């Protein structure tokens, strides 16, 4: 693919539409609880301002279901962005399309920033409607996509509008994502260890299938591991299991064995009678889980074995927690794996919201090679799929 990046484009005094991913999380009081995604876009935004571009930012936020909803307004995001940019005001129009917005865009001065209202206040955004795409495109002379987290969606702002803007390219965050993930698929240093966790096998089937073609060892934890253990005939108590995926899991294990690819499953578990922070947590002696108990984290033997594999790795990809890490009694496995990844002498890529939260919680984010801002997008990229938001940028 040939993609031009923002530092290869002429943007001085141009109306520059930057699709960002400001889909941040909020706490119970309505305050932004994690501004990682806003900070991730700052290098591209600051570069554009330094080049005297007229910057128009656009993002979705939450799931407003195609209707304006004050709960999902971009206003608090714009206020936080203004704080981070320090001496730059951020204009906040009441919509993302329409005559008023078009007039504001036309009046922007070099070095000014406007953050459009939530794109998903219009159902046409997710429908990739051509008319809506043309309205967005009419605001700009140059289009730059820096929203890797939305690149797997063929929406108006990530795909549809691109063909109607004369000049297109990608931002610095998108470049870092494409380069880091491409390296995993094309030229990984070996051994290449992949760590997959999370609740469901069904969410990661395509990723597992493709990783089996390129990685040397696959470590599986989290809820999805119990479906694989069940496929091996292991007693898993009342742990989470996808009954309709047991046969698929068994086939994956058989193919991996035939191809001499190591798929490692938990050797022991931290279990409890209920998924509750107040429930009494116990550690099993071995791989079986007693009746009436559910696996909620990997046990110490598994932590030790997985950490050994991680520390030997030259390339690591991690997506998904090893247990219910939000609850303190079941957070140890995920936390220890985060530390092991940070301590490894490897080229490491961590993706997915939960994995990133674990990295931050362990205080080791600065020691990770690349933290991917796109959960679903990074998985689909690793799966080998063509992402619509990236395809739209290809020259």
Q: Is residue 178 part of a domain?
A: no
Containing H/E element for 16?
Answer: strand 15-19
Q: Is residue 33 part of a domain?
A: yes
Domain ends where: 118, 145, 170?
170
Confidence of residue 360 (pLDDT cuts 50, 70, 90): confident
Q: Is residue 175 part of a domain?
A: no
Do 151 and 200 share a domain, yes or no? no
Judge whether 353 counts as a catalytic residue.
Answer: yes
Q: What is the pLDDT of residues 281-292, one digit of tens each?
A: 999 999 999 999
At 34 the pLDDT is 84
Give yes or no for a contact between 37 and 373, defined as CB atoms under 8 angstroms apart. Answer: yes
Do 208 and 320 share a domain, yes or no? yes
Rounded Cα distance between 130 and 332, Å, is 49
Q: Is residue 251 part of a domain?
A: yes
At 27 the pLDDT is 85
Active-site annotation holder among 169, 320, 323, 353: 353
Domain ends where: 138, 170, 202?
170
Q: Is residue 388 part of a domain?
A: no
Rounded Cα distance between 223 and 325, Å, is 12
Domain ends where: 170, 200, 224?
170
**pLDDT of residue 116 exceeding 80:** yes
How much is the average pLDDT of 335-339?
95
The count of other CB atoms within 10 Å of the CB of residue 182 is 12
Do 165 and 226 share a domain, yes or no? no
Do 114 and 200 share a domain, yes or no? no
Rounded Cα distance between 321 and 222, Å, is 6
Do 111 and 221 share a domain, yes or no? no
Do 164 and 195 share a domain, yes or no? no
At 361 the pLDDT is 85
User: Could you give the C-alpha distances from 371 to 149, 166, 375, in angstroms and in order?
Assistant: 12, 32, 10
Looking at every residue in the chain, the average pLDDT score rounds to 94
Do 133 and 227 share a domain, yes or no? no
| CATH, residue 351 | 3.40.50.1260
Do 371 and 277 share a domain, yes or no? yes
At 1 the pLDDT is 62
Do 67 and 157 share a domain, yes or no? yes
**pLDDT of residue 353 exceeding 80:** no
Let me know the angle formed at the C-alpha of 100 by 98 and 106, rounded to the nearest 5 degrees.
Answer: 100
Do 127 and 226 share a domain, yes or no? no
Can you give the C-alpha Rg of the chain in angstroms? 23
Give yes or no for a contact between 276 and 327, defined as CB atoms under 8 angstroms apart. Answer: yes
Q: Is residue 137 part of a domain?
A: yes
Q: What is the pLDDT of residues 293-305, one digit of tens each?
A: 999 999 999 999 9
Domains held by the chain: number: 2
Active-site annotation holder among 37, 153, 168, 336: 37
Do 143 and 189 share a domain, yes or no? no
At 29 the pLDDT is 84
Output the pTM of the full model.
Answer: 0.89
Tell me which residue range forms the domain holding 265: 185-382
Active-site annotation holder among 200, 312, 314, 367: 200
Give yes or no for a contact between 171 and 389, defined as CB atoms under 8 angstroms apart. Answer: no
The count of other CB atoms within 10 Å of the CB of residue 70 is 8
Q: What is the pLDDT of residues 19-75, one digit of tens each?
A: 999 999 888 888 898 888 899 999 999 999 999 999 999 999 999 999 999 999 999
Identify the bridge partners of residue 192 per DSSP, sorted by sequence position.
315
| Residue 355 or 227, more confident | 227
Q: What is the DSSP string of 219-286?
A: EE-STHHHHHHHHTT--BTT----GGGHHHHHHHHHHHHHTT-EEE--SSEEEESSS-TTSPPEE-SS
Among 161-165, 252-256, 350-354, 366-370, the range scoring the smallest mean pLDDT is 350-354
Judge whether 37 counts as a catalytic residue.
Answer: yes
Q: Is residue 346 part of a domain?
A: yes
Do 49 and 165 share a domain, yes or no? yes
Q: What is the pLDDT of residues 205-231, one digit of tens each?
A: 889 999 998 999 999 999 999 999 999
Q: Is residue 258 part of a domain?
A: yes
At 203 the pLDDT is 85
Active-site annotation holder among 62, 66, 369, 376: 376
């Amino acid at each position: 693919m040939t993609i031009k990046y923002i530092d290869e484009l002429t943007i001085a005094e141009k109306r520059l539409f930057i699709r960002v991913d400001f889909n941040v999380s909020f706490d119970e009081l309505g305050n932004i609880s994690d501004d990682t995604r806003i900070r991730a876009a700052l290098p591209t935004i600051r570069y554009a301002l330094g080049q005297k571009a007229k910057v128009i930012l656009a993002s979705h936020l939450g799931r407003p279901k195609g209707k304006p909803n004050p709960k999902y307004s971009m206003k608090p995001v714009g206020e936080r962005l203004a704080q981070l940019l320090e001496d730059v005001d951020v204009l906040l129009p009441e919509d993302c399309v329409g005559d008023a917005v078009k007039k504001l865009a036309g009046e922007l001065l070099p070095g000014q920033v406007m953050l459009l209202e939530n794109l998903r206040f219009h159902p046409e955004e997710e429908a990739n409607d051509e008319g809506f795409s043309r309205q967005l495109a009419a605001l700009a002379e140059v289009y730059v996509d820096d929203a890797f987290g939305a690149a797997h969606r063929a929406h108006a702002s990530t795909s549809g509008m691109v063909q109607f803007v004369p000049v297109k390219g990608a931002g610095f965050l998108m470049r870092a994502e494409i380069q880091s993930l491409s390296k995993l698929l094309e030229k990984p240093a070996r051994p290449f260890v992949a760590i997959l966790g999370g609740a469901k096998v069904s969410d990661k089937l395509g990723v597992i299938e493709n990783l089996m073609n390129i990685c040397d060892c696959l470590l599986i934890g989290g809820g999805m591991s119990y479906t694989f253990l069940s496929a091996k005939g292991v007693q898993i108590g009342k742990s989470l299991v996808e009954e309709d995926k047991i046969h698929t899991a068994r086939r994956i294990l058989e193919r991996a064995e035939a191809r001499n690819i190591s798929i490692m499953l938990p050797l022991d578990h931290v279990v409890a009678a209920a998924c509750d922070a107040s429930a009494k947590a116990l550690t099993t002696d071995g791989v079986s889980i007693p009746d009436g108990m559910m696996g909620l984290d990997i046990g110490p033997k598994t932590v030790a074995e997985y950490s050994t594999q991680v520390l030997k790795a030259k390339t690591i990809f991690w997506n998904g927690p090893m247990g219910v890490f939000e609850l303190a009694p079941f957070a140890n496995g995920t936390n220890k794996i985060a530390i092991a990844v940070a301590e490894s002498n490897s080229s490491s890529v961590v993706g997915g919201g939960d994995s990133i939260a674990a990295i931050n919680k362990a205080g080791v984010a600065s020691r990770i090679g690349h933290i991917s801002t796109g959960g679903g997008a990074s998985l689909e990229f690793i799966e080998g799929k063509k992402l619509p938001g990236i395809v739209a940028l290809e020259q």
